[in-house]
Amino acid sequence: MATAEKYVGGGVPRKEDPKLITGQGQFLEGLTLPGMLHAALLRSPHGSARITSVDVSAAAAAEGVVAAYSGADLADEWAAGLPMAWPVTDDIRIPDHWPVAQDVARYVGDAVAVVVATSRNAALDAAELVEVDYDVLDAVVDVEAAVADGAPRVHESFDDNKSYTWALTNGEVDEAFAKADVVVKERYTQPRLIPNAMEPRAVVAQPVPSTGDFTVWSTTQIPHVAKVLFALTLGIPESQIRVIAPSDVGGGFGSKLNVYAEEALCIALARRLGKPVKWVAGRSEGYLATIHGRDQVQEIEIAATSDGDILGYRVHILAAMGAYLQLVAPGVPLLGAFLYCGCYGGEAYHFECTGVFTNTTPTDAYRGAGRPEATYAIERAIDSLAREVGVDPAEIRRRNFLPAGDMVQSPGGLAFDSADYEPALDRALELLDYDGFRSDQAERREGGGSRQIGVGFSSYVEICGLAPSQVLASLKYAAGGWDAATVRMLPTGKAEVVTGSSPHGQGHVTSWSQIAADALGIPYEDVTVLHGDTHVAPHGMNTYGSRSLAVAGVAVHNACDRVVDKARGLAAHLLEVAPEDLEYEAGTFSVKGVPDRTKSMPELAFAAWTAHSLPEDSEPGLEASCVYDPPNFTFPFGTHVAVVEVDTETGAVDLVRYIAVDDCGPVINPVIVDGQVHGGVAQGIAAALYEEATYAEDGTLETSSMVNYLVPSAAEFPSFETDRTVTPSTSNPMGVKGIGEAGTIGSAPAVINAIVDALSHLGVTDVPMPASPERVWRAIQSAQGGEA
Amino acid sequence: MIPASFDYERASSLDEALSLLAAGGEDARPLAGGHSLLPLMRLRLARPSLLVDIGGIDELRGVQDDGDSVTIGALTTHHEVAGAAALTGGSGLIAKVAEGIGDPQVRHRGTLGGSVAHADPASDLPAALLALDAEVTLAGPGGTRSVAAADFFVGPFMSAADDGEIVTGVRVPKREGWGSAYQKFQRRAQDWAIVGVAAVVNWTDSGIAGAAIGLTNMGGTPLRAHAVEAALTGTSEKAQILAAVSKVSELETPPADENASSEYRLHLAQVLISRAVAEAAGCPGMQR
């Protein structure tokens, strides 16, 4: 029975939640196969060391152990090294990257041996028995130290530690700076961050020795991409690999947008031993062996008039790649390269980035990937400009916003869809009660107490919907940007949606069900969404970069339209009228002027299945597919506001309010959008106040667990205040833009700007991230000392 | 990470636990709530050969009012300590401290005895026991004994308990009429203190008649700030208190770690002592 109810835009309960909140979700650690073996890796404890010998004999002889191998033992397993898919320049230096190091271990955590046993415990115990002799070399862990003359080289085969330099220039930059009344120049560091998905990484590889087929279960965001890359790395025909990303993959934030050593290793071990092989990361092991994010040093200059009108930008970045180049690591700074001018105007723009090897865990895309870094730099620097020219920070943003409109040219070189930045700022100021805040602040300052308050703004624009394949080609990205959907009416009137995106917490099953239920006019409950298994969903580019809705979701929408088109032909045939004489609404075709002559979608699904009477040239069944490749990126935007109270005696920062006004276009499910904003904002605040991965000079990861890598909990946050403006994108027929990363992108600069604002009367102009109490206290001490 | 393998025995009485520990040798360890020991085992930093689970020994659980002092059994959870009505006067400090340890899960599983026996200089309870001149009671193969808190904590994760001895509880003087406060400074709600200040103060019409200050995470053991206490006695105004707290710098150089340098810890200690003293004195005019 068709329903007139509209699901899109409503806060229907997430289909994913009941099993997760009742403990019926299945993480990969729970998968057990007959005869399954368990792998444990021995990892280098040195930042840089030549491996002089590996003796696995004691481990191999331990109880329960089936095999133990060094990197050299496994060298002939690899048809190619671990893949890197974004060679951003023609002369980029790409080092060999083997799943198990063969000659030199280049970071603490680089695998040097693997033990396979009948239980995980036996494998872990035996890994301690592997004896490795190292010739320890000097390590370099800091990007600036790594590019200094005489720095230890991470890769001896390269002359220095630079992987590539990528540059972009628009307009006459020197001219803009020459005529400027004011130039502000700032230097910021982006701390290295460790992604913390709920589910640690895990993989199970199952061989069928008689056929040479492999099934690989992996906690991956990219089952389809991984399938191609497993084939290339292992020399197995792609047609003989099935990859399954389980339906409950517990989060990724980019950390599972990769092809990892342990995935390739489990497949190789399964091939060699003829049995299923499983590996599950421990949390601290994941801190060493799963990609990190950020770790950049940024220099930004803004040229402006004395009124604060921006003329031009100059940006230089050093970006840590870590010891090797992971899947898309070189391209991460490029995702921010067009955004160091934010949502502001100007006539000239120069950006330059050098990717740098260090003896650290490789970096790669972490929620926001390049865009939080860019937004941080411009949103901090525009506050510096506001102070320099004596203009209110909200006003200087308004003064420099790009004009509202579609396809508005940014100084960075891209044309932004759906630009309309003032309403979000206005709404944020209204929610804040800006005038009231400033008067409270003045009162506190007057009182002179130890608790001072400040407000910080961040008006961001970002790039989502990673998409147009031709544009990605111009950036030398090695894959396409399309995604695929198939929508299939089942004989009983239910629908199956097969999607190429691979959700791992986002709620695609819910959102895709809403889209299909509305388009097909059937109940939300009657839609099933299939994903993550390359045998079920044959095509996909998967889930990252806030792309799923704006690409794969639109593919679902378009495929539904095609199903309705086919159904229209069948309805016309059965009702014996011309297709154009039919009206379609909420799953029912009716003859114009004869409203009681109808065919519903379930009726048509059944008729298409029996195929007893079909139009000429029509085939049985009622399904359609769409592969969608959008014409442009999408550019969500918004204004975030943080209010902090700073204890000037201790440096402690209390986040009092957090307001997020985002514009992601039309909303499919407001509960999911709020959830994405909350989670993203929490991760951005975490970067601003808590999280920072640090290395000792010898390459030891000091923040090796959640004891000292400070992932905040709910206790550290106020209740977030969220609101939206809605400006549809012109890049796709649904007008949707993406919301997965906006919170992370907008939030960190708002928090730091608020701290600086709270302390500006004491002379403080900068506090580095994360703003630990000691750093805040030292900023106050140094500002006060400067005055004395 | 998964612990190295170990043997496990569950004791139903104190005597049985002591004999199991004696039989297990020097690598045998008692297990109570497990919230200090198990994390170390998980990282394989601790590798006991035998765990003797004392969690079922009822005689070691509970809070007893002895008139001018309170006896708390080792297996009493932090949650139970936080709600103990017998902890009045200055001894109320123990309840305030217990209320802020870790998170609710830790407070419902973790025990007072486990926290004391672990002797972590960053743990909250030891500083409070020190400030209150509490005694730690021990049982071992040779019988039972009491050790003053000041003598019990001898180094980082090292106590005066001998191998084979079990902490059975603490005895805390009530100090009726004294006020108390625990100022804990940490990055996240569930973290260990970067610095903690446990203060008990006897505030009279003429000012501070007596004060005792215990410090968390300011050295290799919990510390008493005796010089500060002496300087505080007889003071009644904020300026005098600020002068007194500066004497905390006469203690050993505080440790440096990823959360705080020595210099910052010393600064924090001064701020937190003055706040704790003002709060314990119950005199709002002295705060801020």
Contacts of B193 in chain A (CB under 8 A): none
Angle at alpha carbon of residue A707, lines to A649 and A188, rounded to 5°: 60
Q: How confident is the model at residue A623 (pLDDT cuts 50, 70, 90)?
A: very high
Q: Is CATH 3.30.365.10 the classification given to domain A17-23+482-628?
A: yes
Q: How confident is the model at residue A750 (pLDDT cuts 50, 70, 90)?
A: very high
Which among A115, A129, A649, A655 is the top mutation candidate for probing chain B, defined by the most B β-carbons within 10 Å of its own β-carbon? A649
Q: Considering chain A, what is the average pLDDT of its residues?
A: 96
Q: What's CA A606's distance to the chain center, in Å?
A: 41
At position A488, the amino acid (one-letter code) is R
Domains of chain B: 61-173 (3.30.465.10), 179-282 (3.30.390.50)
Q: How confident is the model at residue A327 (pLDDT cuts 50, 70, 90)?
A: very high
Return the domain boundaries, chain A. 17-23+482-628, 31-137+198-251+256-289, 293-466+632-787
Within 444-483 of A, beta carbons closer than 8 Å to B belong to 449-450
Q: How far is CA A184 from CA A189, A313, B181, in A?
A: 17, 10, 48
Contacts of A283 in chain B (CB under 8 A): 1
pLDDT of residue A33: 98
Contacts of A694 in chain B (CB under 8 A): 258
Contacts of B264 in chain A (CB under 8 A): 773-774, 777-778
3-state secondary structure (DSSP) of residue A454: strand
Token pair 């972590």 is at which residue? Answer: B120
Contacts of B268 in chain A (CB under 8 A): 650
Of residues A582 and B236, which shows the higher confidence score? Answer: A582
pLDDT of residue B236: 87
**HEC states along chain B?**
CCCCCCEEEECCCHHHHHHHHHHHCCCEEEECCCCCHHHHHHCCCCCCCEEEECCCCHHHCCEEECCCEEEEECCCEHHHHHCCCCCCHHHHHHHHHHHCCCCHHHHHHCEHHHHHHHCCCCCHHHHHHHHCCCEEEEEECCEEEEEEHHHHEEECCEECCCCCCEEEEEEEECCCCCEEEEEEECCCCCCCCCEEEEEEEEEECCEEEEEEEEEECCCCCCEECHHHHHHHCCCCCHHHHHHHHHHHHHCCCCCCECCECHHHHHHHHHHHHHHHHHHHHCCHHHCC
3-state secondary structure (DSSP) of residue A671: helix
pLDDT of residue B36: 87
pLDDT of residue B283: 67
pLDDT over threshold 80, residue A356: yes
Token pair 């860019």 is at which residue? Answer: A374
pLDDT over threshold 60, residue A680: yes
Q: How far is CA A174 from CA A74, A187, A285, A348, in A?
A: 54, 20, 48, 8
pLDDT of residue A2: 39
| Mean pLDDT computed over A566-593 | 97
How many Cα atoms are found within 13 Å in the side-chain-facing hemisphere of A87? 9
| Mean pLDDT computed over A287-310 | 98
Q: Determine the Cα–Cα distance for residues A635 and A410; give it in Å rounded to an integer.
A: 11
Beta bridge partners of A292: A363
pLDDT of residue A786: 53
pLDDT of residue A4: 47
A31-137+198-251+256-289 and A17-23+482-628 share a CATH fold: no
Angle at alpha carbon of residue A147, lines to A142 and A151, rounded to 5°: 80
Q: How confident is the model at residue A692 (pLDDT cuts 50, 70, 90)?
A: very high
Q: How confident is the model at residue B44 (pLDDT cuts 50, 70, 90)?
A: confident
Candidates B1, B188, B189; nearest CB to A282: B1
Confirm if A552 and A516 have CB atoms less than 8 A apart. Answer: no
Confirm if A315 and A352 have CB atoms less than 8 A apart. Answer: yes
Lowest mean pLDDT among A255-259, A417-421, B11-15, B33-37: B33-37
Q: How confident is the model at residue A466 (pLDDT cuts 50, 70, 90)?
A: confident
Q: Give burial (CB, 10 Å; 0-12/13-18/19+) of B97.
A: buried
Per CATH, the architecture of A293-466+632-787 is what?
2-Layer Sandwich (3.30)
| Mean pLDDT computed over A282-286 | 94
Chain segment A473-529, per-residue pLDDT in tens: 999 999 999 999 999 999 999 999 999 999 999 999 999 999 999 999 999 999 999
At position A687, the amino acid (one-letter code) is A
Phi first, then psi: give them for residue A290, nearest 5 degrees.
-110, 145
Chain segment A56-100, per-residue pLDDT in tens: 999 999 999 999 999 999 999 999 999 999 999 999 999 999 999
Compute the nearest-CA separation of A422 from chain B (Å): 36
Cβ contact, residue pair B2, A285, below 8 Å:
no
Contacts of B185 in chain A (CB under 8 A): 650, 652, 773
| Mean pLDDT computed over A649-671 | 97
pLDDT over threshold 90, residue B284: no
Q: Which CATH class is domain A31-137+198-251+256-289?
A: alpha beta
pLDDT over threshold 50, residue A3: no
Nearest to B72 by CA among B14, B137, B161: B137
Compute the nearest-CA separation of B266 from chain A (Å): 11
Q: Determine the Cα–Cα distance for residues B219 and B216; give it in Å rounded to an integer.
A: 8
Cβ contact, residue pair B1, A284, below 8 Å:
yes
pLDDT of residue A467: 73
Contacts of B191 in chain A (CB under 8 A): 710
Cβ contact, residue pair B191, A710, below 8 Å:
yes
Of residues B284 and A400, which shows the higher confidence score? Answer: A400
Nearest to A217 by CA among A230, A233, A235, A232: A230
| Mean pLDDT computed over B259-274 | 96
| Mean pLDDT computed over A754-776 | 98
| Mean pLDDT computed over A16-31 | 94
pLDDT over threshold 70, residue A1: no
Q: Determine the Cα–Cα distance for residues A246 and A530; give it in Å rounded to an integer.
A: 11
| Mean pLDDT computed over A411-437 | 97
How would you classify the pairing of strands B195-204 and B207-216? antiparallel
Contacts of B288 in chain A (CB under 8 A): 449-450
How would you classify the pairing of strands B50-53 and B28-31? parallel
Candidates B185, B258, B264; nearest CB to A694: B258
Chain B: residues touching A (Cβ < 8 Å)? 1-2, 4-5, 43, 103, 185, 187-191, 194, 258-261, 264, 267-268, 271-272, 288
Q: How confident is the model at residue A788 (pLDDT cuts 50, 70, 90)?
A: very low
DSSP A127: H
How would you classify the pairing of strands A202-208 and A415-416? unpaired
pLDDT of residue B286: 53
Cβ contact, residue pair B189, A121, below 8 Å:
no
Q: Does A645 touch chain B (CB under 8 A)?
A: no
Token pair 């297996």 is at which residue? Answer: B75
Compute the nearest-CA separation of B129 from chain A (Å): 25
3-state secondary structure (DSSP) of residue A663: strand
Cβ contact, residue pair A710, B187, below 8 Å:
yes
DSSP A728: -
Q: Does A703 touch chain B (CB under 8 A)?
A: yes
